[in-house]
Amino acid sequence: MTRTAQTTLTAIALLAAMAATRSHHFTSLLGPGDATLAVFFLGGLFLRRAGWLGFFLAMAGMIDFLAVQTGTSAWCITPGYALLAPAYGALWLAGRLSTGMLQSQRGLLSGAGLLAGGVVVFFVISNVAFYAFADALADMNAIDFALGVAVYLPGYLAQAFLYSGAGLAVAHVLTRTGRPATAA
């Protein structure tokens, strides 16, 4: 398989995971949690190039737009939504920095630390942006907001690690069967 075909298949798989799970931003008992954080981390790890980051940012925006058009609440869509680009970029960068690290236990721990750091940076940027631009929160002070949203961070971390681990396991299996999962 050519490198271009590998890259294309990796991108399609990641996009499918995001599209299948990004119907809302909070976990539901009726469906899988959102894989988007892991998709951006794995995109940075496997796809690497900034052009792919732009493509995935556009696709996340399109998925959200379509979700709102079909009845999902637009409550989270504020002018701060634009700051999701650097928030997801932090995850992409964490994946990019993890390239080549995941071949040893020590490297795997470093990659896990980068993923956790990327999730925390995403969480802070996205929540600060929402707080700063959401008219509905104008009467809430920053401390109360921070304490209110902090309870969601463990779930964000758990989902990111679960989906990233699954993606890495699939990549490992594909590599072992002679079909490299990494792309340039």
Per-residue pLDDT tens listing for the chain (184 residues): 788 999 999 999 999 999 999 865 444 555 568 999 999 999 999 999 999 999 999 999 999 999 889 888 888 889 999 999 999 999 999 999 999 887 888 988 999 999 999 999 999 999 999 999 988 888 889 999 999 999 999 999 999 999 999 999 998 888 777 655 554 4
Q: By C-alpha distance, which of 26, 14, 3 is closest to 168?
A: 14
So what's the pLDDT on residue 184? 44
Number of domains in the chain: 1
Instruction: Please report whether residue 99 resides in a domain.
Output: yes
So what's the pLDDT on residue 154? 96
So what's the pLDDT on residue 95? 97
Instruction: Please report whether residue 141 resides in a domain.
Output: yes
Range of the domain at 161: 3-176
Instruction: Please report whether residue 181 resides in a domain.
Output: no
Instruction: Please report whether residue 184 resides in a domain.
Output: no
Instruction: Please state the pTM of the whole predicted model.
Output: 0.90
Backbone phi, psi, residue 119, to 5°: -65, -45
Instruction: Please report whether residue 81 resides in a domain.
Output: yes
Instruction: Please report whether residue 82 resides in a domain.
Output: yes
Length of the chain counted residue by residue: 184
Burial label, 88 (beta-carbon count in 10 A; 0-12, 13-18, 19+): buried
So what's the pLDDT on residue 30? 53
Instruction: Please report whether residue 183 resides in a domain.
Output: no
So what's the pLDDT on residue 61? 95
From residue 41, give the alpha-carbon distance in Å to each of 5, 87, 117, 166. Answer: 20, 11, 11, 12
Instruction: Please report whether residue 182 resides in a domain.
Output: no
